[in-house]
Amino acid sequence: MALLAAPATGAPTGTVSATSTVSATAAANRTARPRVLLAPVTVTPTKPLTPSHLKGLLWTDVMLRATAGLAEVTLRYSPTTYHLTEQTLGFWEFLDRTAPDTDCTTLSEDRIGALYMAYRAQEGRADETTMRAYADAVEHHGWVHPAGSRVLDLWAGHYARLGMHDPGLRAHQPPSLGLEETLGLLADRGLCLDLRSHGGPAYLDVTRHGLPLRRIVTPHGRPNYLACALRELLPLATAYDEIVLLCDQELDADYQLLDRVLTAFGATVRRVLLGRVPIEGRIRSARHGGWAGHTVGDLLDGVCGTYDEPVVRLGMRLYFIAVLGAGPQQSFQHDALRQSLTRAARLLSRGAGDATDPAPVAEVLARHRTGHLYVNPYRLTSALLARHRPGPTRELLQAVYL
């Protein structure tokens, strides 16, 4: 799905008629605008959205909307692509095997997350014949387990409340490359070591660049997250002037590999690393729980009755982008979130002519993309809180934050 900003128009030039000149200028501007692909880590629909997830989603949303003021931007965020991973497909098989009569359409995110924790804690795994049947249903028939559909429906509601661009959470968006095609392309470049014919796995091989072998497909043909990402992004490698990969620091090793492969196929790649958000000083994977009282649903329920919608949308972005920053140093604090909501209310209450930055929105956005095409969400958002500077215009807030 693409979020495309309206092209800028320029002053008439040359000797042709004014109408023809404006049309020609608009067409030239459309052609001249750089093309940017945003490809963040896609959260699998197996548990509640946590503060760490929300941080990544809000960084992506602000980057998308801000960069769209200066470039043609596409956000590629397809849950469909990653349904084939073990953590999702195996969980769905586990639900059908251990709780076949459960009506998933009525379950909360927390309850589905608790079932996911039970799945991750189990010792046994499904047999490969069963897993192939599930993979076939996903790959060839667009099947989604009711638990996955339920989670995606709930997430779409969170997106709407936060004013985030929905990239098609519930749409069927398969990657354009098949797994075997992907492995073939990698092998042609000497980037794949495929041992499946000998009973082994398939590896991504970029050892020539000093990076380790990485298993991406099991001996039985099941891809991991990195293999799915390659299926999605390899066909897009040369279609954009810049590909921006957003991931948390725990996945940096895999995203270094992804960066190297996409670069080998002709892409210009930027990696943006984000630290997870500690809760009470601890960073825990969602598979281990620890989210009680801190899910996105909990956070929204806790503030939406006190603050109006624009304040919540702006305040959440101020907190998760400008206050927490890119690193993992600061634990989530309810008091600090409320302070950001108060700041948001003050920013929104300013009059249109009350010490606002007189520069056009595009000029303000361009200040925050040094050396790359995307707009840096932290620099842009933290500037909203800077003292002794003109405040943001309503136009900027509406375009990027509300």
pLDDT confidence band for 387 (50 / 70 / 90): confident
Average pLDDT over residues 202-213: 94
Q: What CA–CA distance (Å, rounded) separates 70 from 369?
A: 10
| The pLDDT value given to residue 10 | 34
Of residues 92, 183, 96, the one with CA closest to residue 135: 92
Higher pLDDT among residues 187 and 7, named by residue: 187
pLDDT confidence band for 124 (50 / 70 / 90): confident
Residue 271 has pLDDT above 90, yes or no: yes
pLDDT confidence band for 355 (50 / 70 / 90): low
Structure token digits, residue 168: 């098609």
| The pLDDT value given to residue 356 | 66
To the nearest 5 percent, what fractions of the chain are helix, strand and coil? 50, 10, 40
- Look at strands 192-194 and 202-204 and give their pairing: antiparallel
**Would you say 63 and 374 are in contact if contact means Cβ atoms under 8 Å apart?**
yes
Q: Using one digit for the tens of pLDDT, what is the confidence trace for 130-184?
A: 989 999 999 999 999 999 999 999 999 999 999 999 999 999 999 999 999 999 9
Structure token digits, residue 53: 């997830």
Higher pLDDT among residues 30 and 169, named by residue: 169
For 34-400, which CATH superfamily applies? HUPs (3.40.50.620)
Higher pLDDT among residues 328 and 73, named by residue: 73
Give phi and psi for 274, each to the nearest 5. Answer: -125, 135
Distances (CA, A) of 364 to 64, 179, 368, 393: 15, 43, 8, 10
Q: Using one digit for the tens of pLDDT, what is the confidence trace for 311-333?
A: 999 999 999 999 999 998 889 99
Mean pLDDT score across all residues of the chain? 88
Beta-carbon contacts of residue 281 (< 8 Å; ≥ 6 apart): 331
pLDDT confidence band for 52 (50 / 70 / 90): very high
**Burial classification of residue 219, based on how many CB atoms lie within 10 Å of its CB (0-12 exposed, 13-18 middle, 19 or more buried):** middle
Residue 373 has pLDDT above 90, yes or no: yes
Q: What CA–CA distance (Å, rounded) separates 204 from 185?
A: 12
**Burial classification of residue 316, based on how many CB atoms lie within 10 Å of its CB (0-12 exposed, 13-18 middle, 19 or more buried):** buried
| The pLDDT value given to residue 42 | 95
Q: What CA–CA distance (Å, rounded) separates 191 from 188?
A: 7
**Would you say 56 and 162 are in contact if contact means Cβ atoms under 8 Å apart?**
no
Average pLDDT over residues 90-102: 93
Beta strands in 43-201 (DSSP E): 72-75, 192-194
Q: What CA–CA distance (Å, rounded) separates 260 from 247?
A: 15
